[in-house]
Structure 1
């Protein structure tokens, strides 16, 4: 049968030999959309790749500069010998160079911590328990312990008629400040003896946190039965007020080693002014070395001169001699003792259980000294 042309109204597309059949309109629209999507996807991928490449580049180091001023805290205690020597002999100021050194004297740790957290000071010599408490309360954001300063030099001294722990029931004792290192030591020890104490002063033994100088006067006036104090105050109560030692804290620690004073710094300040912190540590190390190499007479004279300025009068020769015999000056913060210090704080009711990892940053100390002081797994060294 012969092929005949189809009617133009048949609704069927005629295919001529050698021609390609035109594509349906809808299919074409889909292909165009897919092509455009592919182009956009490739462009987005390139942008992502560029962003990833930029993010993988090392972030620029934060700009740090020496601080215009370093505000340093310490106590008028022989246990703060490195601070007393470092400030009075100009060892810290010399290392700080153009950074101005200003100082503030405190009676106990919690007050110093409050000043540090408020920005009134940048670094301070302090007992370990207030440092732990600040670290725990701030979830590790507030402070770093950057060096040790002193070990030993704390005792529970009491009236002569008190001969044992049992004799303390119903008695009135004092410590420098609630939550301070000696306050925690006293409460933890009393707990081990079976006594209950409360932070409001009630309990089987009444503990009234009192400024050191006031504790001496109250004891002399017969209004206080004893006190757990750092040096030189323990020696002053013994030699000036007739107290006797019931507990020497060194007897409660393995090898007699327990930390009394450390050097801490505000973390934000340290991050912004690492050069200033390094200079402070250089002066601190020089001060500790001076104390460990000086004669007993040199140490007593130098420390007494500072105590005269801060406390109004120097210590009697026998008091400062006894106090210095009880103290070891060291840059090692004895990090291995801190879990027990934390447990004592928990037992005393002045802190809560926590992870102390990160409380130490001993890297700069180790750089300055050229030797390894361990953070005992609780920070960087």
Structure 2
């Protein structure tokens, strides 16, 4: 009888061991230079090394709203994403999605055709200007800029045709001269310049204090965070280390990012594109919370967050990141 009990207990412990080993984290990101930490850390094994036996399941996306839908469906746990969709996801989920770190600052520009005499905001009247997706980060930035200069999209009674479309379609139509400009993230802004013979009319960094604004943040399901706090902290620890490695080894990082983008998209980027895009980016774990608030205000004013101004007091949770930074002997990031 005693042997049977021992065997039974052993079987239970083995079963529990298998359950623990099968814990996974499901991560989403773009094959995009602004999601550099995801590309580098997954490629060089930094995340897997820090997480140990935890399985990492990865999905790639080309638009933030699609990542939000996957989070709502509980098909993902953590994503690298732009601030626009992150804020929208927080609001629509009733606070069930929260920002826990930053990844990238900068990396967005308004690029126009070089053969057009566009010098002042008034010159955009009657023009066809693209953004990656309706309600996305660059779409909000474009519409806010138009509004500030007394311009408006055609559907709002203005005379600027704002055309949300994929970045790849932007480049194709730009080359064909069927688009006059685009507010695009890197490396697509650089591609419009290098491959599309365009020029940067406006580097978005010039519109922000200290030339810093959140381009990519880390968003997590709050339930996953509460159920697996140590796992999320380990991910953030690796994220911080990868960020430091990228900044210390820019040439190696650029080569690895280039390699991963080519592997995922089957398309190679010209060295000139990577170099130009890199110069307009800053990699940081700071979510730059004040820029998120300003983005949210713009999204609300433009009608993307409903009729009632949302309460964003719980949008950013820096406690896990602060714990990680303190463990590494670094000061926490101020809210």
TM-score (norm 1): 0.78
Say which SS state the counterpart of residue 164 (structure 2) adopts: coil
Paired position in structure 1 for 2:203: 248
Question: 1:262 and 2:262 equivalent?
Answer: no
In the alignment, which residue of structure 2 is the partner of 1:275? 230
Cα deviation, 1:11-50, whole Å, max 9, x if unaligned, reads xxxxxxxxxxxxxxxxxxxxxxxxxxxxxxxxxxxxxxxx
Give the alignment partner of residue 324 of structure 1, picking from 267, 274, 278.
278
Secondary structure at the aligned position of 1:228 is classed as strand
Do structure 1's residue 337 and structure 2's residue 297 form an aligned pair? no
Match of 1:359 in 2: 315
Is the radius of gyration larger for structure 1 or structure 2? 1
Report the Cα distance in structure 2 between the residues aligned to 1:146 and 1:177, rounded to whole angstroms: 24
Alignment of 1:72-221 (within 5 A): 72-140=27-95, 142-160=96-114, 161=116, 162-197=118-153, 203-221=158-176
1:306 alignment partner in structure 2: 260
**Structure 1 residues 179 and 321: alpha-carbon distance in aligned structure 2, compared to 1, 3 A threshold:** same
Cα distance in 2 for residues equivalent to 1:357 and 1:233: 33
Q: Distance in 2 between matches of 1:128 and 1:313?
A: 26
Following TM superposition, the consecutive aligned residue runs of length 4 or more in structure 1 with deviations greater than 3 angstroms are: 200-203
Shift of 1:337: 2.0
2:334 counterpart residue number:
374
1:201/1:208 contact within 8 Å kept: no
Contact 2:128 2:181 in 1 (8 A): yes
8 Å Cα contact 1:157-1:227 kept in structure 2: yes
Give me the TM-score of the superposition, normalised by structure 2.
0.88
Taking the TM superposition and a 5 Å limit, the aligned residue runs for 1:31-42 are none
Distance in 2 of aligned mates of 1:71 and 1:207: 34
* Residue deviations 1:184-243 (CA, integer Å, cap 9, x gap): 100111111111226x69742111111111111111111111111110000000011111
- CA shift, 1:68, in A, is 1.3
Do the aligned partners of 2:72 and 2:93 also contact (CA within 8 Å) in 1?
no
RMSD: 1.7
Query: Any unmatched runs of 5+ in structure 2?
Result: 1-19
Query: Contact (CA 8 Å) 2:214, 2:292: kept in 1 or not?
Result: no
Measured in 2, the distance between the counterparts of 1:204 and 1:152 equals 28
Deviation at 1:269, TM superposition (A): 1.1
Asked if structure 2 preserves the Cα contact closer than 8 Å seen for 1:107 and 1:176, the reply is no
Per-residue Cα deviation, 1:91-138 (whole angstroms, up to 9, x for no partner) = 111112111111111112111111111111111000111111111222
Match of 1:233 in 2: 188
How far apart are residue 144 of structure 1 and its match?
1.1
Are the aligned partners of 1:191 and 1:347 in contact in 2 as well (CA < 8 Å)? Answer: no
How many residue pairs are counted as aligned between the two chains?
Answer: 309
Distance 1:233 1:187, change over 3 A: same
